[in-house]
Amino acid sequence: MNETIQEGKDVLLYLDGRRTYLVRVRAGQNFHTHKGFLRLDDLIGKQFGEKVQTNLGVTFTMLKPSMRDYVLKMLRKTQIIYPKDMALIILYANIGSGSQVVEAGTGSGALASILAYHVKPDGRIYSYEIREEFLEIAKKNLERAGVAEYVELKNKDITQEIDEENVDAVVLDLAAPWLVVPHAYKALKGGGNFASFSPTIDQVVKTVEALEEHGFVDIEAIECMVRRLQVKRGQTRPETRMIGHTGYLVFARKTRTP
Amino acid sequence: MNETIQEGKDVLLYLDGRRTYLVRVRAGQNFHTHKGFLRLDDLIGKQFGEKVQTNLGVTFTMLKPSMRDYVLKMLRKTQIIYPKDMALIILYANIGSGSQVVEAGTGSGALASILAYHVKPDGRIYSYEIREEFLEIAKKNLERAGVAEYVELKNKDITQEIDEENVDAVVLDLAAPWLVVPHAYKALKGGGNFASFSPTIDQVVKTVEALEEHGFVDIEAIECMVRRLQVKRGQTRPETRMIGHTGYLVFARKTRTP
Amino acid sequence: MNETIQEGKDVLLYLDGRRTYLVRVRAGQNFHTHKGFLRLDDLIGKQFGEKVQTNLGVTFTMLKPSMRDYVLKMLRKTQIIYPKDMALIILYANIGSGSQVVEAGTGSGALASILAYHVKPDGRIYSYEIREEFLEIAKKNLERAGVAEYVELKNKDITQEIDEENVDAVVLDLAAPWLVVPHAYKALKGGGNFASFSPTIDQVVKTVEALEEHGFVDIEAIECMVRRLQVKRGQTRPETRMIGHTGYLVFARKTRTP
Amino acid sequence: MNETIQEGKDVLLYLDGRRTYLVRVRAGQNFHTHKGFLRLDDLIGKQFGEKVQTNLGVTFTMLKPSMRDYVLKMLRKTQIIYPKDMALIILYANIGSGSQVVEAGTGSGALASILAYHVKPDGRIYSYEIREEFLEIAKKNLERAGVAEYVELKNKDITQEIDEENVDAVVLDLAAPWLVVPHAYKALKGGGNFASFSPTIDQVVKTVEALEEHGFVDIEAIECMVRRLQVKRGQTRPETRMIGHTGYLVFARKTRTP
């Protein structure tokens, strides 16, 4: 069903591929851009996909924010995992509606948000973060993205212990994932999925070694490179600049006889 | 909760990264491998993650098949989209639990299976295929993967018409996606997501042009390259051979004023 | 033999991987950097590889400029081919000492310089450029790089005609290389090498088609991606940003029976 | 000048991109292919670029072998460096006509051949190999490629010592390049170029560390990926399979004050 834009809802204002703004609609307020301002009252009652003009006559398209929009627009204190890497984690670790997932570190909550979106309505994310100040940010980001109810934020050190048992997946984005491997082994159900994101080769080597030692099989380490195409009839070409490296992904599955 | 392997269920028998077998457990039957045979009776009552030996003493790990396993093991008559590309489609097109998605062509049902896994329990996939013989295969594959109930298979030509309205996403893997763009526009809700997979540059150019002409914004074309690492302390390196190209992905969002 | 730095010679002043300066040594002059100035008199009589300090005590290493340094530091009005692509052209087109090579367009002379360095002392580069103002720049750049004597600059339109015959290779970096293919065929000796650099797919397609029509064989089109590693024990990783695309390279060889 | 094919000369018989044969022309002999045989007498007196038919009427083009052809067709006992990596070594290490280059290990002589082709006529390659049996193969390969006179093969362990002094470049393709770094430092002239090829990350890290400790600057580590395009109007796309990794290249320049 088509959705009407309402007070209190978020809108992604799209100008072009490089300029988008994530805005919460508040009656009586204006939103200022470098192309003039929009009266948010004008948005209320419109449908997603419609267009709106600033006082300077510049047109924005009103889009419903995707999870990727939320993630890319999040308040953050640290680098977040890129959507391309989150996508592979979800599919390779078999995370779907109903999955029980342990995740760490929470950071700004970007990865937890995406995971939550994919396990709802019956799954749950248990997200560990040792730095309390990050949990505040994460809480706001999860609420904004509309997935807070599926995430349990935990101010605990996951390298010490995991409380949950028989979970479907453990997903890690932290400096020393190999320290979590024994706890992940305990927390996972038989055949459960381990996934870890790390920027450096040495992190990958240590994590893979820990997985081999702790009864995991089907261990694989990959990297994913995404390149954009500039599409124009007669002049199509890949873009000059690209992100050459974000990090490596390590996946594995738990056996019951380490 | 841990799951017990039962008669009629599927098991992924894992020997190593290159040798895995997807088997349906049938009492009284044997499963033959080049490393000896397994009595399937021996599997029943075991838990996923446990190990089992062939008559020749070779050990296999019994894993619960992931959606990626189902897809990679599917009966198929045609090339299927690689999991890496499916993963990006799901995340970039914002497909999650509850999404209503039109998909074509069904082919062997690989993409439909993965989409179904991510929209369940309340979402639905409307999968179009003009070649009736493929629908038979797809039906079996969807049933095997346990997601048939979320997919409506339609023996119709999607380049002629889409029946559904106000869907969240249209996902295409067919030879002439640009012919579907006008129908996708009608079928999508405002701000809805378009995604298309195509091996050649020319398909990308034609699709992007059609999207520009039919009121889509936020059009982007990308390619995703995945490379595996061989991880071994002191000898870590990327693998020599890789899949250099599968296809390009095109994404866009519908505006309401074409 | 070790070389002494002399008046009138060039020195590459190396601070770090990002900050290098190509300087001609002039007695009595100073060279100013953001790290203080160097008295060029201090350089004279030193050997390459030695170090020198600015008045602020910052140390630079004095290196003998390589051809790659000359090319990267050239005065230029247009984008030049990257060294990685030049390298492949030289090897794949079998250009070596003694080769006779037709090249176009001259542009700032970067490609001509590198080619000249590899055909000296007995080979020759015939470099075509239709825009006279570029030839001035190219002349200076070739002289600075010390290879002007091996290059004949020609203010002619290579899409109209090539004067030379029986050359070993034709190397193109221009907007419409396919227009040069018939002339390249005439100019090349039997089995001679054609090489062309183009940023877009469409240029590649048109060039390959022209080569097929005009009696070339062993036609191949490639792209070359170079990624840097950040090397640091325990923290090694590829660099985040890279140049994702410069252009495609097309190679072919002439048969004598088109 | 056009060259006539003569008794005792090599010809590359080209059928298509995948099927080429490097043949020495011998009067009175036949050359057998899976497409019939060629009488080599028929080749004598022809010009490169002309075509010849087998007794079964299949046409081959007679091409003059390039250095890349020689390298790819070499007798070999080990993996050789790919031409793409050789190309970058030549350009980044500034190797040109007249360069004095120390190289190790010789192996089948592939890298030495290419280097020799680029330093002739006045430069010289000093090629170290500890395994005597390889030197026999290398000698034959260098002679076949016509560059033996520019290469001095040395049956010595380069990790112990380098005899030469004031060389322009040291180029390494061996298991422990870091052990050669101190000797390379002594052998190189001030500002001279170091280049090393290694498949694994750990080799790169150890080599870079040794270079940092021994007075080298401008140290860079890169990898080069080459992907082929399938070019066909309306169906152009990158090839499905590619070589994802050959090795990393490390470059550096010598300072005189380690």
3-state secondary structure (DSSP) of residue B16:
strand
User: What CA–CA distance (Å, rounded) separates A179 from A170?
Assistant: 13
Residue in chain A closest to B66 (alpha carbons) equals A94
Ranking B4-13, B21-30, B70-79 by mean pLDDT, the lowest is B70-79
DSSP B34: B
Label the pairing between strands C51-53 and C59-63. Answer: antiparallel
Q: What value of ipTM does the predicted structure carry?
A: 0.96
Q: How many angstroms away from the CA of C69 is the closest CA of chain D? A: 9
User: What CA–CA distance (Å, rounded) separates A235 from A254?
Assistant: 49
Does the structure show a pLDDT above 60 at D254?
Answer: yes
Answer whether B118's CB lies under 8 Å from B139's CB.
Answer: no
Could you write out the three-class secondary structure of chain A? CCCECCCCCEEEEEEECCEEEEEECCCCCEEEEECEEEEHHHCCCCECCCEEECCCCCEEEEECCCHHHHHHHCCCCCCCCCHHHHHHHHHHCCCCCCCEEEEECCCCCHHHHHHHHHHCCCCEEEEECCCHHHHHHHHHHHHHCCCHHHEEEECCCCCCCCCCCCEEEEEECCCCHHHCHHHHHHHEEEEEEEEEEECCHHHHHHHHHHHHHCCEEEEEEEEEEEEEEECCCCCCEECCEEECCCCEEEEEEECCCC
Q: How many angstroms away from the CA of B241 is the closest CA of chain D? A: 5
Q: Which tokens in the block code for residue D202?
A: 């750990």
Contact D2 C190 (CB under 8 A): yes
Percent of chain C residues past pLDDT 90, beyond the cut: 93
Residue with tokens 């050959």: D246
Contact D49 C254 (CB under 8 A): yes
Contact B50 A208 (CB under 8 A): no
Does the structure show a pLDDT above 60 at C258?
Answer: no
Q: What average pLDDT does the structure give for chain D?
A: 95
Per-residue pLDDT of chain A (258 residues; tens, 9 = 90+): 567 999 999 999 999 988 999 999 999 999 999 999 999 999 999 999 999 999 999 999 999 999 999 999 987 777 889 999 999 999 999 999 999 999 999 999 999 999 999 999 999 999 999 999 999 999 999 999 999 999 999 999 999 999 999 999 999 999 999 999 999 999 999 999 999 999 999 999 999 999 999 999 999 999 999 999 999 999 999 999 999 999 999 999 999 875
Label the pairing between strands A237-238 and D216-230. Answer: unpaired
Q: How many angstroms away from the CA of C163 is the closest CA of chain D? A: 15
A241 → closest Cβ in C200, C227, C244: C244
- What pLDDT does B75 receive? 78
- What pLDDT does D130 receive? 96
User: What CA–CA distance (Å, rounded) separates C53 from C36?
Assistant: 9
Residue with tokens 């993205």: A145
Contact C92 D87 (CB under 8 A): yes
Answer whether D224's CB lies under 8 Å from D85's CB.
Answer: yes
Residues of chain A positioned with their CB less than 8 A from the CB of B255: 49-51, 61
Q: What is the pLDDT of residues B86-106, one digit of tens each?
A: 999 999 999 999 999 999 999
- What pLDDT does B44 receive? 95
User: What CA–CA distance (Å, rounded) separates D60 from A87?
Assistant: 49
Contact B242 D246 (CB under 8 A): no
Contacts across the B-D interface (CB distance below 8 Å): 62
3-state secondary structure (DSSP) of residue D31:
strand
- What pLDDT does D54 receive? 95
Residue in chain B closest to D226 (alpha carbons) equals B244
Per-residue pLDDT, averaged over B64-73, amounts to 95
Residues of chain C positioned with their CB less than 8 A from the CB of A247: 237
The model's confidence at residue C11, banded by pLDDT at 50, 70 and 90, is very high
Q: Which tokens in the block code for residue A224?
A: 């994913």
Return the residue in B80, B237, B240, B246 with the most chain D beta carbons within 10 A, the one to mutate for interface testing: B237
Q: In D129-212, at which residue ranges do the beta strands (DSSP E only) sit?
A: 151-154, 167-172, 188-198
Per-residue pLDDT, averaged over D13-38, amounts to 94
Q: What is the pLDDT of residues B132-145, one digit of tens each?
A: 999 999 999 999 99
User: What CA–CA distance (Å, rounded) separates B4 from A36?
Assistant: 62
User: What CA–CA distance (Å, rounded) separates D143 from D74?
Assistant: 11
D84 → closest Cβ in C2, C88, C193: C88
Which one has a higher pLDDT value, A80 or C168?
A: C168
Label the pairing between strands B59-63 and B100-104. Answer: unpaired
The model's confidence at residue B80, banded by pLDDT at 50, 70 and 90, is confident
Label the pairing between strands A216-230 and B10-16. Answer: unpaired
Amino acid present at C210: A
3-state secondary structure (DSSP) of residue C258:
coil
Is the C-alpha dihedral spanning C85, C89, C91, C97 positive or negative? negative
A225 → closest Cβ in B48, B209, B225: B225
C236 → closest Cβ in A201, A223, A244: A201
Per-residue pLDDT, averaged over D203-210, amounts to 98
b or e along B52-83 (b: 16 or more beta carbons within 10 Å of the residue's beta carbon)? bebeeeeebbbbbbbbbbbbbbbebeeebbbb
3-state secondary structure (DSSP) of residue C206:
helix
Percent of chain D residues past pLDDT 70, beyond the cut: 99
Helix, strand, coil % in chain C, rounded to nearest 5: 25, 35, 40
Q: What is the pLDDT of residues C206-230, one digit of tens each?
A: 999 999 999 999 999 999 999 999 9
Q: What is the pLDDT of residues D164-197, one digit of tens each?
A: 999 999 999 999 999 999 999 999 999 999 999 9
Does the structure show a pLDDT above 70 at B216?
Answer: yes
B207 closest CA partner among B164, B165, B159: B159
- What pLDDT does C75 receive? 79
Q: Which tokens in the block code for residue D54?
A: 């087998």
Answer whether B90's CB lies under 8 Å from B101's CB.
Answer: no
Does the structure show a pLDDT above 90 at B240?
Answer: yes
Residue B189 class from Cβ within 10 Å (0-12 exposed, 13-18 middle, 19+ buried)? buried
- What pLDDT does D227 receive? 97
A126 closest CA partner among A157, A102, A96: A102
Residue with tokens 């302390």: B233
Q: In C136-247, at which residue ranges do the beta strands (DSSP E only) sit?
A: 151-154, 167-172, 188-198, 216-230, 237-238, 241-243
Contact C96 D117 (CB under 8 A): yes
Contact A66 B193 (CB under 8 A): yes
Residues of chain A positioned with their CB less than 8 A from the CB of C236: 200-202
Q: Which tokens in the block code for residue A230?
A: 């500039």
Q: Which tokens in the block code for residue A254?
A: 């738990």
Chain A partners (3+ C-beta pairs within 8 A)? B, C
- What pLDDT does D3 receive? 79
- What pLDDT does B2 receive? 61
Q: Which tokens in the block code for residue C9?
A: 């010679």
Q: How many angstroms away from the CA of A12 is the closest CA of chain B? A: 10
The model's confidence at residue B256, banded by pLDDT at 50, 70 and 90, is confident
